[in-house]
Amino acid sequence: MTMAIDVFQALLLILAAPLVRGIVARIKAGIQGRRGASIWRPYADVLKMFRKEDLAPPSASAVFRFAPRLLFAVAVAVAAFVPVLQPSALLGSLGDFIVMVYLMALGRFFLALGGMDGGSAFGGMGASREALVSTLAEAPFLLSMAALSISAHSPRIADIVGWTLGQDFFDISAVHILAFASMGMVALAESGRMPVDNPTTHLELTMIHEAMVLEYSGPSLALIEWASAIKLNVMLALLIALFGPWGMATHLAPVALGSAFGVYLLKMLLLMTALAVIESSVAKLRMYLVPDFLGVATATSVLAIIFTVLSRR
Amino acid sequence: MINTAFYIFFALLSVIPLVAWLLHRRSRWLWLPAMLLVVGLVAGAAAAGHGVWGSNQPVPSFSWNFPFPFALSIDRLSAFFLFLICAISIPIAIFSLSYVNGHYQGPRRAWIWTLLPLFILSMSVVVTASTALAFLFGWELMTLLSAGLILVEGTSEERLHNVFIYLLMMHASAAAVAAAFFLFWPHSPGLEFASIRSSAPALGPAIRTVVFLLAFVGFGTKAGIIPFHLWLPRAHPIAPSPVSALMSGVMLKTAIYGLVRFAFDFLGGGPPWSGYLVLAAGAVSGLLGVLYAIAEHDLKRLLAYHSVENIGIIYLGLGSSLLFLANGAPQWASLALIAALLHTLNHALFKSLLFLGAGAISHSTHTLDLEEHGGLLKRMPVTGTAFLIGCCSIVGLPLFNGFISEWLTFRSFLGGSLLANATAQVVLPLMIGVLALIGGLAAACFAKVYGVAFLGRPRSAEAEHAEETPLAMRTGLVLLALPCVVLGVLPSLALSPLARLAQVLVPGSSVPEEISSISRVIPWVAATLLGTIVVTFAIRRAQRFTATWACGLPPLTSRMQYTSTAFSKPIRSVFAAVYRPDRKVEVLPADQPYFPASISYRSERTTSYEKFLYRPAVDAIVAAAHQLRRLQTGNIQIYLLYIFLTLVSLLVYLRFLR
């Protein structure tokens, strides 16, 4: 039964990912005074691209077609790390956060290679910029999760969530606040949202992720788009699981699971609204201010680590 | 049985030079030296295998007492390093079969086949020596033979200067190592390892500290940690590619062996602060090594700087192990030591692979400048795939071997939070950030290397007409690439022998449970990834190759691609404080800045180590020598006075002060 719920969690994170994008876009449209597209639009986009032919530049090698598939596979594997309804997950109960973070790096590495395989200027430009952002995001990502795992005495994500569930919400320490601030900034950078990257732009001067995938089309592009939607969904779910798991089912009863699902949806809606508000109210940072942004995230996560020692009881 | 294999190894490797000189004019027998080398190395690996997987009883072999106590024996630590040397050298020997014979003629070829086996043999002597003098004998030979191999390639002014710096620093290192050994002399006159080990507790704390520091500097110089790395990016790139692979992949590991032998086996852990020292050295070498590497576009120089980085990662593991040992946590100490030793093995595998790959690229394109490569994967599919595996491994991506050792290092840092010592409790977890940054930078660097060299359009005529390398070279590459993947997916193959070794070196530890934990999760991750990839490849649509739209201009050319320099620009700007670049822009003609006929741009990194560290040191030594010259007046009466004063002071010392 636990296994079945774990599978359901992973499928939820994978299949509902385009919907999250759609809802965020819809809320943003509302804030900007537009009507906006249907929240189901990302599904239609992905389906449409799956039906088109797969174009590749003449210089492209096997890496060009392999990269999107690996990226998608990584997204699927990462989705299996995050608890949603109960403090356990398919891979999250086996592997720790280091494996998860490095899996994301695997996907990014190959996508950067895929971008450079196109043989045009844009792919290399995007890959180079993405390399900078992800290089600087890795340290705060790992450090803030390390701070939590030190408090929880286990590096496994499911165990951290289980430990947090046992704590009183009003008793959470400074470690959680610092780590949350750091992880929030990392989540924006990792999923390529404002103020680090603008997912809706195609302007040479500013685009990062979009420049890297500019040469892709058809099913390859569909997989990339879906994978980055999963990544956004996973990052949001991870924030919920690590910093606000209260409401998750601690035992296997239909009522507990049902209420856990409802609470999860509410928390997700809250985060999506927050994301839309941030994206509508903040301007994109200049490329060379991104290191400062991530520098703040790193400093915050370093403080979180120091506070774990100070607050040790 | 083990000894027989070991003797065969020694006999075959020492006979190869003879064979090479006898046969160097007959082109039909060129394969024989390489074949003998491979057979000898297999015998050596078999002899070592017993110590790696079998019992811990040291197996003594050669031993004589004249003219100095010389003995070799294989205990578990020696066995691991001997196995590493032999196993890594096999693919390198196979690669050399066509590389050396294709690139060198006549006496030069014979010289390489003379020096190469002896170089491998000297490294084997270093790791199996069981007396200090045997160790120093091998240590010295190792330096001289590798210098000889660099000189086979040519004797230009610049090369001689680089070899001079190499020899100079290696002898400084040898002096420090010898001094570290000789401090044991009063307690163990024969300087056998067994008596050194048992006499170590009798040393005073001050002497122990000095021994540790001497070993740290001596082996650190050989390992190439910053700031003693000066020779490494000079010597490694100019050697023939198989020799670069041996130097970076294997020779550096003898320094790790030396440090482990001293710090863990002899001293049983250094002074309490030794862990911090090694950690700091590792963090600085790791970060600066990878930052310097990113700025390079000469493939072999770039790889040489990555050796500095990876030695840094190994030192991070060793440092945390020493720190745990000093704080009475043997369980964690053994985990960190396993991490360091596994990374030693992994680095040997992937760095040899990458250096051989660089050799294969220069064989096909006649250049090592990344800006002249491009699109090589389509032209050299086997080399390209093997090189990609090497890149993924060195970056530490999951499913490749580099990840396992970095993961173990991360876990040992996390374990630091459980120590009672407040400083260690903060410092070790913070090292996670350092290692993460190193990993991220390495990923950026190898995305650049692979993307620029193997993907996209060819950037030069040579790259466009590159052809796949001969069979022997491809075999060497594949033989090194396979273990990278196998150890990445089934880490327990390497981890269980290493766990037994760590139990010997760290008394009172058992097998850490992290080992079984990583061995459990990685296959599941691999299965998930593989399954999903197979499914996504099942979605097949029409595929078409078509030129990219170039905004209505004539079609894209290779000049429009991002170059290696452009790719690394954002990172170089962010870390500009590290590089202190010296830029020069020249616009011609000078009086027409807006309508230039030509613009030239030069950006050079100022080598601050030479300027701020080595130059003042050399100047101080020269100044001291000038002062000492005042003693040399040339007047015979003064010299007689010196002799008289020395005699008197010695007599006073003997009579009153002893």
Nearest to B397 among A65, A109, A139 (CB): A109
Of A229, A227, A219, A224, the closest CA to residue A51 belongs to A219
Q: Model confidence over B436-471: pLDDT tens digits?
A: 999 999 999 999 999 999 998 888 888 888 888 888
Q: What is the pLDDT of residue A308?
A: 85
Q: What is the pLDDT of residue A89?
A: 86
Q: How confident is the model at residue B257 (pLDDT cuts 50, 70, 90)?
A: very high
Of B34, B124, B143, B60, the closest CA to residue B86 belongs to B124
- Are B406 and B439 a contacting pair, CB within 8 Å? yes
Q: Model confidence over B582-611: pLDDT tens digits?
A: 777 888 777 777 788 888 877 776 667 777
Q: How confident is the model at residue B391 (pLDDT cuts 50, 70, 90)?
A: very high
Q: What is the pLDDT of residue B597?
A: 81
Q: Do A72 and B543 touch (CB under 8 A)?
A: no
- Are B504 and B473 a contacting pair, CB within 8 Å? no
Question: Is pLDDT of B371 > 90?
Answer: no
Average pLDDT of span A239-268: 88
Average pLDDT of span B75-83: 91
Sort out which chain B residues have CB atoms less than 8 A from A121's CB and list them: 560-562
Q: What is the pLDDT of residue B607?
A: 63
Q: Do A98 and B410 touch (CB under 8 A)?
A: yes
Measure in Å the smallest separation between the Cα of A56 and chain B Cα atoms.
5
Q: How confident is the model at residue A31 (pLDDT cuts 50, 70, 90)?
A: very high
Please confirm whether the linkage preceding A42 is cis (ω < 30° from 0).
no
Nearest to B567 among A64, A124, A149 (CB): A124
Measure in Å the smallest separation between the Cα of A162 and chain B Cα atoms.
19
Question: Is pLDDT of B176 > 90?
Answer: yes
Q: Model confidence over A126-139: pLDDT tens digits?
A: 999 999 999 999 99
- Residue-averaged pLDDT of chain B: 88
Angle between the B401-415 and B492-505 helix axes, to the nearest 10 degrees?
40
Q: Model confidence over B127-149: pLDDT tens digits?
A: 999 899 999 999 999 999 999 99
Q: Do A102 and B452 touch (CB under 8 A)?
A: no
Q: Do B567 and A131 touch (CB under 8 A)?
A: yes
Mutation target to probe the B interface, by most B beta carbons within 10 A, among A46, A51, A61, A313 is: A61
Q: What is the pLDDT of residue B418?
A: 85
Q: Do B398 and A99 touch (CB under 8 A)?
A: yes
Q: Which helix (H) or strand (E) holds A74?
A: helix A62-79
Question: Is pLDDT of A313 > 60?
Answer: no
Please confirm whether the linkage preceding B523 is cis (ω < 30° from 0).
no
- Chain pair A-B, CB pairs under 8 angstroms: 253
Q: Model confidence over B190-243: pLDDT tens digits?
A: 788 888 888 888 888 888 999 999 999 999 999 989 888 888 888 888 888 899
Highest mean pLDDT of the ranges A2-6, A138-142, B16-20, B606-610:
A138-142
Q: Do B447 and A61 touch (CB under 8 A)?
A: no
Measure in Å the smallest separation between the Cα of B613 and chain A Cα atoms.
30
Measure in Å the smallest separation between the Cα of A73 and chain B Cα atoms.
5
Instruction: For residue B577, give Cα distances in angstroms to A302, B238, B284, B581.
Output: 22, 28, 14, 9
Q: Do B524 and A105 touch (CB under 8 A)?
A: no
- Is residue B237 classed as helix, strand or coil in its secondary structure? helix
Sort out which chain A residues have CB atoms less than 8 A from B293's CB and list them: none
Measure in Å the smallest separation between the Cα of A268 and chain B Cα atoms.
26
Q: What is the pLDDT of residue B606?
A: 62
Question: Is pLDDT of A171 > 80?
Answer: no
CA distance A298 to A291: 10
Q: Do A73 and B536 touch (CB under 8 A)?
A: yes
Closest residue on chain A to B416 (Cα): A150
Of A257, A252, A100, the closest CA to residue B522 belongs to A100
Q: What is the pLDDT of residue A183?
A: 93
Q: What is the pLDDT of residue A70?
A: 94
Q: What is the pLDDT of residue B658?
A: 66
Q: What is the pLDDT of residue B459?
A: 87
Concatenated DSSP letters for A166-222?
HS-GGG--HHHHHHHHHHHHHHHHHTT-TTT--TT---TTT-SHHHHTTT--HHHHH
Q: Model confidence over A209-223: pLDDT tens digits?
A: 888 888 898 899 999
Of B499, B497, B492, B480, the closest CA to residue B523 belongs to B492
Measure in Å the smallest separation between the Cα of B458 and chain A Cα atoms.
9
Q: What is the pLDDT of residue B268?
A: 84
Amino acid, single-letter form, for residue B110: A
Q: Do A124 and B441 touch (CB under 8 A)?
A: no
Q: Model confidence over B303-327: pLDDT tens digits?
A: 999 999 999 999 999 999 999 998 8
Average pLDDT of span B492-500: 89
- Are B377 and B454 a contacting pair, CB within 8 Å? yes
Q: Do A129 and B570 touch (CB under 8 A)?
A: yes
Question: Is pLDDT of B542 > 80?
Answer: no
Q: What are the backbone dihedrals phi and psi of residue B394, each rounded to the nearest 5 degrees, phi first?
A: -70, -30
Q: Model confidence over B262-284: pLDDT tens digits?
A: 999 888 887 888 999 999 999 99
